Every structure is written in C-alpha cells, then in structure tokens.
Amino acid sequence: MKTKYINKRIDYTGKELHSHFAYKHFDIMGESLVAFSGGCEVKIGDLVDLADVKEKAGIYSEDMLHFIGEFFDHDLDRTILRQRLLIAIIKDVVAELSGCPVVRRGDDIYEGEDKLSVSIATLTPVSGIIHTGINISSKNTPVPTKGLKDYGIETQAFAKTVLDRFAKEMEDVNVARCKVRGVS
C-alpha cells in the first residue's frame, strides 16, 4: 500500500474520482492513498452519491484536505469497509489533536451537528475507489461545518499522520490474514 501527501493545491470537482488517479498524476502505481489540499466543488452531474443527486445537494468547501484511495480487488463491500476504516482513523486523529468530542456517523464525522467530512466509495471497471474530504476551512459551506483550522490543526502533519496510520492498518490486516491456519 503506497501513500503520499501531495504538497500542491489541487481543487476537487468529482472528476478526479477515477481509476489510476494516483498513477496518472503522481506515478504511484498500485493500491494507494494520496492526500492533497484544495477547494471542493462537486456539481450535481458529477456526484456519485445518488441520494445527494436526488436531494440536489452539491458539495462545496473553500478549502478541504482530500484523500483518494484505490484498491484493485474490485469489491464494493471491501472498498466501503476501507472507507469506514479511513473515516475512523481521521476521527481518532481529529479527536486526539483537538480534544473535542467528534463522532463518526456512517461515513461522516461530526461535532454536534457540524459536519467535518464528505466521503464516497464506488467502483471503476478495474478497482474500488474512495474520496474523503475533510474541511480545512468552514467558511461559506452550504451546511454547518467545522474545519481543521477551527481546531488549530496543521493540515500537512494531520494528513501524513492519517496516511501513516491507514497504511499501518492495511499492513496489519495483511499480516493477520497471512498468519492464521484454516480450520475445519
């Protein structure tokens, strides 16, 4: 599992959620999780979440930390479980660094009714992919939000911590899978 923080502003429109994103843009081939900062504006036509499409709820943030993950087992259930693991890790790191009572509800993170995240998992013809965004700024969002700046959390260090913890969890899953014998 390869991870990398991209120290370059990249705005997210939803079009970035495609197979081989990390390979095409950053020469990272194989299973990966990359992070970068930039604005977020996903218009209705680019939404993957059909519930958001039905509600005509586009996504907008002036500044967000984005994570895009890709896994080549082409299994939506496993991709969603990886998404939930990523969200749980992000929630833990926010709570540790802020001391605030943030909670995970499904694939989102909240403090009270303020939303910190957006996230989606889906399939491409060759892989499972995830996008998770964490607000850096909470200004001018269409719903009540909190961002990393509200907690005094430095974005790059936060991103690297999340990337490291996710890679470690995936490595530990692989070890756990390989170290057991079958039973009958």
Residue-wise pLDDT tens digits, 97-125: 999 999 999 999 999 999 999 999 999 99
Neighbours of 95 (CB within 10 A): 17
* Mean predicted lDDT score pLDDT of the chain: 93
DSSP-based helix, strand, coil % in the chain, nearest 5: 35, 30, 35
Q: Answer yes or no: CATH 3.30.930.10 is held by domain 2-178.
A: yes
**10-residue stretch averages of pLDDT, the chain, 184 residues long:** 97 93 97 97 68 67 96 96 98 97 96 96 96 95 94 98 98 95 91
- First-to-last C-alpha distance (Å) of the chain: 32
Domain range list for the chain: 2-178
